[in-house]
Amino acid sequence: MIETFDPMDLSDPFGFYRWARSNSPIFHDARSGYWVLTKHKHIHHVLGNEHLFSAELDRVNYSDLSPEAREILEPIRFEELYGLSTTENPSHDRVKRVLLPLFNDLFIRNLKPAVEDIADGYVAAIKGERQVDMASTVFRDLPADVIFTVLGVPRADIPQVKEWSHSRMALTWGGPGEQARHAANIVKYWAYCRELISRKIEAPSDDLPSLLGESYRNGLISLREVELLCYGLIFSGHATTSAFLTESLRTLLASGTWRRILAESIPFAETVDELLRLCPSAFTRRRLVLDDVRLGELILSKGSELLLVIGSGNRDEDVFDRPDELILGRQNSHKHLALGYGFHYCIGAKIVKLEYAVVMNLLARNFPDLRLSAGMAITYHPNISIRSPDSLFVDLSG
């Protein structure tokens, strides 16, 4: 089994990981060089011990950069551009202390009407259609619209910034194809972030970069840290959310749960953890071992590289009964690792849950007969980290 394992193939990896959890829960993948962790307890342990396992590994490109791509990226020192999720201490805690309070309950309450407004617009645009691809319509740009509202990015820039952030995903976690094009996009993307921040610092308004600008003026974080946060958030704030919403709707429809939720008027907000458990779009994360350490039966030496398969841990039968099934009311769904755990726990967790509840409610209200279109095979972009359906065709009415 392990000989045929390909970490880039996320189309239907669940059977393999079920086998791995009982036969070889931590195994070495010769192709990637990673130790692959498949059990919830091991992944949880690694995420919770940041002093032993560094997230800095997740900055590194999975595929080596071509000389051409390297030359294009050289002027921006690409290897020094990264978000909070791959920043370690001493900087991480100081920066998170500035950022985290800005994502409080009041912020989420205030954001809700904007999310409803944005979602309304996307749903109105597909009304009257018989069949639509949800991945390339509602779900592709809605999360970007939300995070760009938070970041004060103009709506007109969305398609462009979306393309650039796709390039960042492809260059970091994808294969060796089209690296020069992606590299050129990243150069533009970084210039865009820097310019946005300098505008917000000069003329603050009611958005996150303006608040971060205040922390910069007060000496709590540096200008570069504000720029890097923006560079990270523009990306992490939507690619994962688009993928999660698409895979969640697919799962709700395929399992028949959509009908049950509507028939029993179950609030979507109550189902979100079970969907995050089953459909984690950040399917894997990586860690570097900082010192010789015991993990399960193994001693891993300093410098070992780990692939934490969150999508496997979330279906670990030692933690979740009937792990492959979507069970409404499951008592321990919240034990999923889809948004991380501990030190690097996702800052956008409340935004993700809000977006999911708002958009699913709206779809249910407008298209109660929504169903998967017949005969449409679903493919997933080859990638070691983000599990993202390429398309999701649905019939909107009967």
Residues forming the site for ligand HEM (CB under 6 A): 47, 55, 58, 83-85, 96, 147, 232-233, 236-237, 240-241, 244, 280-282, 285, 338-340, 344, 346-348, 351-352
What six digits make up the tokens of 381?
């972009």
Give which of 202, 165, 203 is closest to 185, Cα–Cα: 165
- Dihedral of CA 327/329/335/337: which sign? positive
User: In this complex, which beta carbon is closest to ligand HEM, that of residue 148 or of residue 216?
Assistant: 148
User: In this complex, which beta carbon is closest to ligand HEM, that of residue 183 or of residue 320?
Assistant: 320
Q: CB of residue 295 vs ligand HEM: minimum separation in angstroms? A: 17
User: In this complex, which beta carbon is closest to ligand HEM, that of residue 65 or of residue 352?
Assistant: 352
Give the CB-nearest residue to ligand HEM.
348
Q: CB of residue 159 vs ligand HEM: minimum separation in angstroms? A: 19
User: In this complex, which beta carbon is closest to ligand HEM, that of residue 145 or of residue 183?
Assistant: 145
Q: CB of residue 194 vs ligand HEM: minimum separation in angstroms? A: 18
User: In this complex, which beta carbon is closest to ligand HEM, that of residue 28 or of residue 96?
Assistant: 96
**Three-state secondary-structure class, residue 106:** helix
Q: CB of residue 59 vs ligand HEM: minimum separation in angstroms? A: 11
Other residues' Cβ atoms within 10 Å of the Cβ of residue 392: 23
Distance of CA 390 to the CA centre of its chain: 15
Give which of 382, 397, 393 is closest to 283, Cα–Cα: 382
In sequence order, what DSSP letters do the residues of 129-160 get, joined into one string? -SEEETTTTHHHHHHHHHHHHHHT--GGGHHH
User: In this complex, which beta carbon is closest to ligand HEM, that of residue 45 or of residue 96?
Assistant: 96
Q: CB of residue 398 vs ligand HEM: minimum separation in angstroms? A: 31
In sequence order, what DSSP letters do the residues of 341-395 get, joined into one string? -GGG--TTHHHHHHHHHHHHHHHHHH-TT-EEPTT----B---SSB--BS--EEE
Q: CB of residue 35 vs ligand HEM: minimum separation in angstroms? A: 16
Q: What are phi and psi of 144, to 5 degrees?
A: -65, -45
